[in-house]
Chain A
Amino acid sequence: MSEHTLINEHPDFAKAQVIVAGVDVGAVSSKSVILLDGQPCAVSQVKTRMPEESASRAINEALAKTNFKLENIHYIVGTGCGRTQVPFAHRTITEIPCDAAGAVHIWGPSVRTVLDIGGQSCRVIHCTGKGRATAFLWNDKCAAGIGRSMEVFANLVKKEVTEMGNIALQSDKFPKLSDFCSVYAQSEFFDLIRSKASKEQAIAAYHYAMAKRIATLAARSGVKQDFVIIGGLARNPGITDWVEKILEVRRLAPKPEWDPALITALGAALFADTFYRRQQSDVSKKPEESQCA
């Protein structure tokens, strides 16, 4: 298996045999990745509004970076919670196999556990060295929306998410907030400000509570190494560092050239590639089981 971690800056559309795309319509943002003969050539990330319109916006934004059109794409796979609303998708699959396929593609066959912390949901996936998902655990309802609540929280304190994450790491001693419900955590955060806690302490307390929530979920499913964190919140060092500390597991270093939020869309694109190639070759020989890369 080859690793393509770099985005091809000079895609040659005319020579490409297989053009595929993955579109991941998430609760907070919609992402797309276009592959030319298995090589990433364009990616995009836009805010999700209504799912159908957002899917189109995501793919169009990626297409704008290429010299071809939607019709030129041979196969498109939709994923994410809004996957049923992607009108131009040839097929839809859930996020779970996409997470696994994308993560193994980026970090290599040693990956066994993928933690995806997104805007609305958070999940743990166990996978094989070939990127096939073997087990997963989805968040319960009380742990929903951590990504979005982080965004709301960043707005409240008027900070950008990554910057806020760095502030969270500046404080070691802080009061514990509710780590079960983020509505409680938010209210208790206000109580903290009222008791005149420092800004660093309050932000650290909130991040710790959210990280604890995520780590509890991950611990319940068991974390096998190598471990990676993907999804929008993987960009927040306040969350990822605390998750690592609580779980006592180091994750593989993030790849600076890949936004962790795009991994699921990449996985979907890899599936599109496989599906298209299989469709072109003799389908009847190996009809079942998708195998990525």
Chain B
Amino acid sequence: MNIGKILAGIDAGHVATKAVIMRGRELLGYCTVPTGFDVVDAAQAALNSALKNTGISGNELGRIVATGIFKEIIKVPSLNVTKTVPEYVADATGAFFLNKNSRTVIDIGGNIHKAVSYDQDGTLLDVIQNDKCADGLGIFYTNMANALGLSEEEMSELALKSTKNLSIAIQCSLSAESDAIDLMCQGADIADVAGAVSRFIVERVADMCTYMPLTKDIVVIGGLAKSRAIVNHLPDLTKKEVSVLKLPEYVGAIGAAISDGGEK
């Protein structure tokens, strides 16, 4: 255990790069920046801002652990990344650390969604990731909010007010987008369109979850876990109770920061 030691975790995702600074098991600072094209720049910027929030200098960092799709790319000398852990390990470690009763974590991110199950010691049992046709749910969500001229939060709130159960595509977010636009063009209510968008995402996630038994307690993380509409729909479709962890988009980065991953 590294109690007292300053640890950093960087989660370089498809869309957003998250950094957290921790002292032992206490979260000191965090920051998100868009990943964009220059993945290393984004990681550096996220780390610097997270450090700035804590008042700790980069030299004091005992260890930097990277995760996320671009973890290998940010393993450059300038960043001084000590090691990398796979995303599902980081998710499980972070979720188990934040909620000791959790046994399954569902991560709904920008381009990938996945579920990981683990036992009472936090040891991984199973992992499942979306198929390629369901890629890009997070990007789709942001996209639809833009199309409707709303912020993501506004879209989520509106979706909760939806009264009609309109439905868009069953498979692909590209078709879902076409269908949502068609609905708008037929004069559907904006709340119902927002509702259909959220429900589509939840259906995709629930479809994925049918391939793995979801053991209680189930926690939800990732950028889309911030959408109340999505979290509200999840129990209907998975037939399980779920709860959202605090700071859901940072759970992967927290997991990375505290993961031992074999290193003593």
Q: Would B111 and A187 count as touching, CB distance under 8 A? A: yes
Taking A186-B135, A186-B136, A186-B139 as contacts, is the C-beta distance between A120 and B37 under 8 angstroms?
A: no
Which of A48, A84, A183, A193 is the one whose CB lies under 8 Å from B173? A183
Question: What are 21 A-B residue pairs whose CB atoms fall within 8 Å in the complex?
Answer: A47-B149, A49-B148, A50-B149, A50-B190, A51-B187, A81-B185, A83-B185, A85-B185, A120-B181, A144-B177, A144-B178, A148-B147, A183-B132, A183-B133, A183-B174, A186-B135, A186-B136, A187-B111, A193-B73, A194-B69, A194-B70
Give the residues from 29 to 67 in chain B that come closer than 8 angstroms, CB to CB, to chain A: 34-37, 39
- Interface residues in chain A, defined as those with a beta carbon under 8 Å from any beta carbon in chain B: 25, 27-28, 47-52, 81-85, 120, 141-142, 144-145, 148-149, 152, 156-158, 181-184, 186-187, 190, 193-194, 196, 199, 202
Assuming the contacts A47-B149, A190-B14, asked whether A196 and B173 have C-beta atoms less than 8 A apart, the reply is no
Residues A84 and B186 in contact in the complex (CB < 8 Å), given A152-B143, A158-B37, A193-B39? yes
- Taking a contact as CB atoms under 8 Å apart, the answer to whether B149 and A187 are in contact is no
Binding site secondary structure of chain A: helix
Candidates A28, A84, A145; contact of B185 at CB < 8 Å = A84
| Residue contact B174 to A144, C-beta cutoff 8 Å | yes
User: In the complex, what distance in Å separates the CA atom of A158 from the CA atom of B69?
Assistant: 19
CB <8 Å contact, A50 and B136: no
The reply on B184 being an interface residue by CB < 8 A is yes
- Which residues of chain B have C-beta atoms less than 8 A from A49's C-beta? 147-149
Beyond the given A145-B178, A181-B172, please list 13 additional residue pairs across the A-B interface where CB-CB is below 8 A: A27-B147, A49-B149, A51-B187, A81-B182, A141-B175, A145-B174, A148-B143, A152-B142, A152-B143, A182-B174, A183-B132, A183-B174, A194-B70
The complex places the Cα of A184 from the Cα of B37 at a distance, in Å, of: 18
B142 contacts across to A, CB distance below 8 A: 152
Of the candidates B37, B111, B139, which one forms a contact with A157 in the assembled complex, judged by CB atoms under 8 Å apart?
B37
Q: How far is the CB of A152 from chain B (nearest CB, A)?
A: 5
- Within 8 Å of chain A (Cβ to Cβ): is B260? no
- Looking across the interface, which residue of chain A has its beta carbon closest to that of B34? A158
Contacts of A144 in B (CB 8 A): 174-175, 177-178
B-chain residues with CB within 8 Å of residue A152 when the two chains form the complex: 139, 142-143
Question: Are A196 and B73 in contact, with the CB atoms below 8 A?
Answer: yes
Chain B residues with CB under 8 Å of A157's CB are: 36-37
